[in-house]
């Protein structure tokens, strides 16, 4: 998966994908292509997406405003 494909798939910017690669949250397939184009490991993209979605769900589940409205 290219940087552009990963960015579209995760709905983030290309610079953010590069930051995720530098931080080790996404893994680069080595060796690089002769053109120098970065190829990203698809499994690491899927794992990152699942981890992000789980964090979002956990946050939303922790919110109690709907079950206990303020002022009522």
For the chain, give the secondary structure using H, E and C: CEHHHHHHHHCCCHHHHHHHHHHCCCCECCCCCCCCCCEECHHHHHHHHHHHHHHHHHHHHHCCCCCCCCCC
For each successive 10 residues of the chain (72 residues), what is the average pLDDT? 97 97 95 88 98 94 70 58
pLDDT at res. 8: 98
Global confidence as pTM: 0.80
């Amino acid at each position: 998966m290219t940087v552009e494909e990963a960015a579209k798939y995760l709905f983030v910017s290309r610079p953010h994908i590069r930051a995720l690669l530098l931080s080790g949250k996404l893994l680069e397939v080595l060796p690089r292509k002769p053109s120098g184009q970065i190829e990203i490991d698809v499994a690491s993209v899927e794992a990152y997406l699942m981890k992000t979605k789980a964090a979002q769900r956990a946050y939303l589940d922790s919110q109690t405003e709907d079950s206990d409205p303020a002022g009522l």
